[in-house]
């Protein structure tokens, strides 16, 4: 959003008073964002969203086994969604490929990148067909591939995954005809695939979302945004307006991928997704009822602060089509330090 603190000050001064600008600038969070590469700029092992990964010999595209708790997951949706999930799980399909990140490129961009390995690639896979009902480690796979670039080969989409994507496109086209909606774009993505888009990483500074843990870490700003006079808070209104214009792309077509990011503070659609990661790992359930959550609020809040956002992908941008939701790949700070990417938790949110 902002390239430097000076850039932030200049842009925010159009909307906020000087003391307000200083509070926001003090709370800015470094992050890495994705920007499209010029045509022809793609290279083996390069950063991309969607498409297919580059893999070395011996590293297979990960496939999801039938979950031991399939029935419990299916019951989290309505009857129709539950039956669709059962059919989906029984196929044991490969995960959808979400993104490939060139770690050497990330390290060269600076910002928060030194927390990542300095070589190889991070490969992000997610089960978008069932993941929204299945917060945890099984709905995603994150692989740190350290193999040399010259050993990599572009992959074709596994036939079963390609068939599932084509079947979904057919269902979407049929539904659109029935309700007299425009036909989907030929290259639009599905729950099983997204169009290949080569990217480059860019270091930037972003203000914290109102409901993020980073906002709690900026008490002066948080208090100013909470303060009201006669039920009004013009600072909060202006802050939300700036934030919405920068990041609110929901309910419409994908908008330049501005919600996609590597590291930094998440942009929640509900509460901070790190709370969901802590609840599912600490209690082994998707959600706690209000009474139990209040009883454990202090330990949940403390535990949530041990989680880091690894990657955030807007589903509409991934599919390059009208869609809802954001997928957050989260990892404990200790697991990131130990490179335990097998412990990544995926959280899905939508408004």
pLDDT digits (tens, 9 = 90+) for 69-89: 999 999 999 999 999 999 999
Asked if 246 and 260 touch (Cβ cutoff 8 Å), the reply is no
User: Is pLDDT above 80 for 29?
Assistant: yes
Asked if 34 and 262 touch (Cβ cutoff 8 Å), the reply is yes
User: Is pLDDT above 80 for 54?
Assistant: yes
Say which residues have a Cβ less than 8 Å from residue 332's Cβ, sequence separation at least 6. Answer: 306, 307, 308, 343
Helices 18-26 and 234-247 meet at what angle, rounded to 10?
A: 50
User: Is pLDDT above 90 for 351?
Assistant: no
Dist. CA 288–CA 275, nearest whole Å: 11
- Residue 143's pLDDT is what? 98
User: How many residues are present in the chain?
Assistant: 351
3-class SS at 142? Answer: strand
Asked if 16 and 236 touch (Cβ cutoff 8 Å), the reply is no
- Structural domains of the chain, with CATH: 29-206+248-349 (2.30.320)
Asked if 55 and 144 touch (Cβ cutoff 8 Å), the reply is no
Dist. CA 279–CA 299, nearest whole Å: 10
Q: Which two tokens stand for residue 3?
A: 């390239």
pLDDT in tens, 242-294: 888 888 644 444 355 889 999 999 999 999 999 999 999 999 999 999 999 99
Asked if 158 and 55 touch (Cβ cutoff 8 Å), the reply is no
Dist. CA 315–CA 255, nearest whole Å: 11
3-class SS at 55? Answer: strand
- Residue 322's pLDDT is what? 83
3-class SS at 217? Answer: coil
pLDDT band (50, 70, 90) for residue 172: confident
User: What mean pLDDT value characterizes the chain?
Assistant: 93
Q: Which two tokens stand for residue 12?
A: 């925010």
3-class SS at 235? Answer: helix
User: Is pLDDT above 90 for 333?
Assistant: yes
User: Is pLDDT above 90 for 7?
Assistant: yes
3-class SS at 85? Answer: helix
In eight-state DSSP terms, residue 185 is P
Report yes or no on whether pTM surpasses 0.75. Answer: yes
Asked if 314 and 257 touch (Cβ cutoff 8 Å), the reply is yes
User: Cα dihedral angle (295, 296, 301, 304), rounded to 10 degrees?
Assistant: -150
Dist. CA 204–CA 263, nearest whole Å: 11
Mean pLDDT along residues 122-150:
97
């Amino acid at each position: 959003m902002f390239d430097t603190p000076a850039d932030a000050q200049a842009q925010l001064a159009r909307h906020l008073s000087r003391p307000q600008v200083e509070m926001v600038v003090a709370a800015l969070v470094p992050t890495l964002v994705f920007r499209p590469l010029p045509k022809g700029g793609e290279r083996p092992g390069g950063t991309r969203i969607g498409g297919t990964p580059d893999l070395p010999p011996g590293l297979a595209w990960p496939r999801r086994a039938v979950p031991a708790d399939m029935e419990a997951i299916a019951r989290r949706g309505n009857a129709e969604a539950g039956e669709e999930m059962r059919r989906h799980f029984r196929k044991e399909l490969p995960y959808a490929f979400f993104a490939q990140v060139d770690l050497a490129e990330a390290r060269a961009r600076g910002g928060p990148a030194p927390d990542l390995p300095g070589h190889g690639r991070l490969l992000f896979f997610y089960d978008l067909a069932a993941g929204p009902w299945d917060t945890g480690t099984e709905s995603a796979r994150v692989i740190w591939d350290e193999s040399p670039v010259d050993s990599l080969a572009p992959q074709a989409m596994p036939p079963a995954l390609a068939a599932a994507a084509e079947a979904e496109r057919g269902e979407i086209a049929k539904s659109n005809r029935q309700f007299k909606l425009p036909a989907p774009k030929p290259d639009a993505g599905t729950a099983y695939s997204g169009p290949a888009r080569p990217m480059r990483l860019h270091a930037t500074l972003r203000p914290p979302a109102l409901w993020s843990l980073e906002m709690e870490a900026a008490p002066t700003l948080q208090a100013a945004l909470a303060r009201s006079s006669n039920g009004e808070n013009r600072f909060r209104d202006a802050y939300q307006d700036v934030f919405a214009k920068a990041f609110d792309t929901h309910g419409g077509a994908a908008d330049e991928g501005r919600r996609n990011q590597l590291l930094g503070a998440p942009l929640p659609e509900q509460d901070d997704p790190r709370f969901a990661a802590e609840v599912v790992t600490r209690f082994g359930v998707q959600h706690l009822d209000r009474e139990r959550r209040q009883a454990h609020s202090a330990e949940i809040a403390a535990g949530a602060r041990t989680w880091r956002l690894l990657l955030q992908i807007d589903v509409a941008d991934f599919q390059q089509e009208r869609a809802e939701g954001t997928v957050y790949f989260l990892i404990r700070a200790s697991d990131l330090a130990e490179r335990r990417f097998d412990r990544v938790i995926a959280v899905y949110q939508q408004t």
